[in-house]
Amino acid sequence: MANVAVIGAQWGDEGKGKVVDWLASRADIVVRFQGGHNAGHTLVVGNQTYKLSLLPSGVVRGKLGIIGNGVVLDPDALLGEIAKVRAQGLDVGPHNLRIAENTPLILPLHPALDKAREEARGEHKIGTTGRGIGPAYEDKVARRAIRLCDLAEPETLSTKLDELLLHHNTLLKGLGAATFEKQELLDKLLALAPQLLPFSEAVWERLDEARHSGKRVLFEGAQAVMLDVDHGTYPFVTSSNTVAGNAAAGAGVGPHGIGMVLGIAKAYTTRVGSGPFPTELKDDIGKRLGEVGHEFGTVTGRPRRCGWFDACLVRQAVKVGGVQGLVLTKLDVLDGLTELKICTGYEIDGEVFKRLPAAAAAQAKARPIYETLEGWTQSTRGARSWAQLPATAIKYVKRIEELVEAQVTLLSTSPERDDTILVSDPFAG
């Protein structure tokens, strides 16, 4: 049986939480391989709703969860999330949650710098969550990050804090923000050490053992391909690689270990924060999509911008993200719309493009070219087989497959875990 990697094929918020939860019931291990607590997954299980930002979705199903080295970890956010789900009845501890020992930590100075920079940008804000994700990744590649393993070595921790504060306090002071004292940070980290170190291990070894013993591993991405730091709508992107190729580096496995790649896309398009959005609807239909789809960011609480399905965008995500199967979510949100549109190209300065250019100015000028399809008045909500879908809904899904050049593997028709149409088994290999 194969492993499976799940990534977003739009700008995030595509419903990865439900899909990963559904797949986790058939996996042995669920691994988060990038991002931080700037991404949220909402899982609806019976009458309980779990909102996760750092915990791998598999913990809800009693599976082993792993936070990989590709994640930047805020200790307070993690411990707070563990306490919250424990209060909801979930058992989370070192027995079912492991964290890579080389995972970089987000310290209080990271969100402070994040917010100070965003404030300094004025009207040119990127739209970050202000949670310190970008500055933490910067420290990682600059080789000055505090990692989980450092908490076991007080002398190493002290020396690394000197270098870290030399950099950050200089920037904070230049931006007119408050600076940080070394002793306060050191005391905080030493106090966190006994709470975090029991979760620490060389997870690459565990994953290697899982491979040899034939266990199924589910790799869970955050954000989406169009927010990838290389392949997304730069600079309105996240600070890590969100494509499936990063699952190998962010978890500590070889490329062969990733398995089948599933890309998740809504049956329409949404985006949180700033940046280009060619198919955005600022009319009553856009408002309706937001209301019916309950489009608010799990982490930010911000209303999501809504628009028609962008096939060019998803096709691009399929190609660069290595997507082998498409998961289409929230089909039911389109119920009652008698006319639907799909973006099949862009017009930019009189020229037609089938992809979104990399240059920011060109992205901002992109105007969608639409294909119009017939909608449906019947309800698709809760459908669990093709036979329960109206013919025009099936035609809509099939047209998406043609345009994005990927087959639909799973089709979701409500937030409920079991309201899913399984077309082919992702774990079958």
Rounded (10°) angle between helices 154-174 and 133-141: 120
Q: Mapping DSSP to helix (H, G, I), strand (E, B) and coil, where does residue 170 land? A: helix
Reported as a single tens digit per residue, the pLDDT across 296-338 is 866 666 789 999 999 999 999 999 999 999 999 999 999 999 9
The count of domains in the chain is 3
Read off the CATH number of the domain in which 225 is found.
3.40.440.10
391 and 307: one domain?
yes
Q: Percentage of the chain with pLDDT > 70? A: 98
297 and 386: one domain?
yes
Reported as a single tens digit per residue, the pLDDT across 233-276 is 999 999 999 999 999 999 999 998 999 999 999 999 999 888 99
383 and 330: one domain?
yes
Tokens 């062969």: give the residue: 256
Read off the CATH number of the domain in which 182 is found.
1.10.300.10
Alpha helices in 197-328 (DSSP H): 203-212, 246-251, 284-292, 311-321
Q: Pick the catalytic residue from 41, 110, 168, 231.
A: 41
- Residue 61: pLDDT band with limits 50, 70, 90: confident
Q: How many alpha carbons fall within 13 Å on the CB side of residue 155?
A: 0
- Average per-residue pLDDT in the chain? 93
E strand or H helix that includes residue 59? none
From the list 37, 193, 33, the residue with the least C-alpha distance to 106 is: 37
Classify strands 64-67 and 97-100 as parallel, antiparallel or unpaired: parallel
93 and 215: one domain?
yes
* Residues 224 and 8: beta-carbon distance below 8 Å: yes
Q: What is the pTM of this model?
A: 0.92
Q: Pick the catalytic residue from 13, 21, 228, 332.
A: 13
* Residues 248 and 204: beta-carbon distance below 8 Å: no
* Residues 59 and 98: beta-carbon distance below 8 Å: no
187 and 205: one domain?
no
Catalytic status, residue 41: yes
Catalytic status, residue 13: yes
* Residues 59 and 90: beta-carbon distance below 8 Å: yes
User: By residue range, what is the domain housing residue 226?
Assistant: 4-102+200-260
Q: How many alpha carbons fall within 13 Å on the CB side of residue 243?
A: 18
From the list 369, 361, 273, the residue with the least C-alpha distance to 313 is: 369
Bin 129: left if φ > 0, else alpha if -120 < ψ < 50, else beta. Answer: alpha
Q: Last residue of some domain: 260, 290, 308? A: 260
